[in-house]
Structure 1
């Protein structure tokens, strides 16, 4: 059975006060969940300690980005070893905002994935097509290329620490979302690519991201190849975020 994961990416939002109130509320609400969903909080790195304090082991914690190096003269960077030392379990790599705003390439994503796995952490690798690629019929080929290159350095024994998040770029922060059918089609295509790469594709969790909210989560999570969500704006409101987590029925 694949892991069911709902991860909240705070992006560049947060404060010590928010960390205390929001994470405490999420932890309290999560105690009543009985559907086996792993809840992951991914705050700005500077608030990891505050989030861990409130999570109290009931919630997993991740970091939004790491460098491809483990140490050295790289001012402003943090390594996956540092993230692990701080108490993180997950690392987000290759988010579309990192690709678009900071010029991260598939090759750089691959190097970061390798570093994260070397540290023994779980990597959530983000892939997704632009509106132009979708409208020109290149969506699947674009995403396939990101998967193949971004995961090209994963060794056979490391796949258990790989999660893939499909986030259509045109749906991130826009209020638009892919239909559940569209999302399922792409998730199935990603799983097919993973299988072609020799990965244990049926064991790898695939998440959907891109304006996931309480009113569309049920339809998305009901699809056979969607194993959870990478949540942006809704993860900053405890009630909304926990509502999304509840859409996995017990025993799935």
Structure 2
């Protein structure tokens, strides 16, 4: 049953990517929406789940929050190192590094695989729990597909690479759900991963995607798209609960 539900996530991911690549003439609106979706996924979905799963503390701070900060700082460090390398070779520091886009998309693929694992684990608990998790995952995988395609192309990668990462992101929930037939990931490990990934994703949204969305474009419509993206994730989380 979990694998069949994951097929729905597969289709929704492809639908999100298709939507992102069809509206290239309104790129600033696409980026504004992507930033809002990423903000909503991090603040309303990933971080609460991480805090619940990784409930330990280190020096009075929840482990999930420490890893969240670590993920944010690592994303910043990677981007700065790539910028320094481009500058050393005479490139414009403002130029986009394809490696950043591919790394971010690969992280989205890993997150989607964890979505599949979450579906499988929830169905092991019970049908009701599995259905609730499935609704949340299938709905927000539209945002995952949208963001995967947007992130890959934003950093200068060719469309064929973006399509390849989109397909990998679509297949990942099926692979994740199928893996639960063999083993289960410990809850603490899953929570740690979600916290770390959430920090990296927030950095990309706040430091890269949203500034690019507002660059040389009217702020009003773009801001509305950002708010709509975050609101959509809030709606999905609320329905799932």
Global fold match (TM > 0.5)? no
Ranked by relative contact order (alpha carbons within 8 Å, sequence separation 6 or more), the top structure is 2
TM-score (norm 2): 0.30
Which structure has more helix as a fraction of its residues?
A: 2
Which structure has more strand as a fraction of its residues?
A: 1
TM-score (norm 1): 0.29
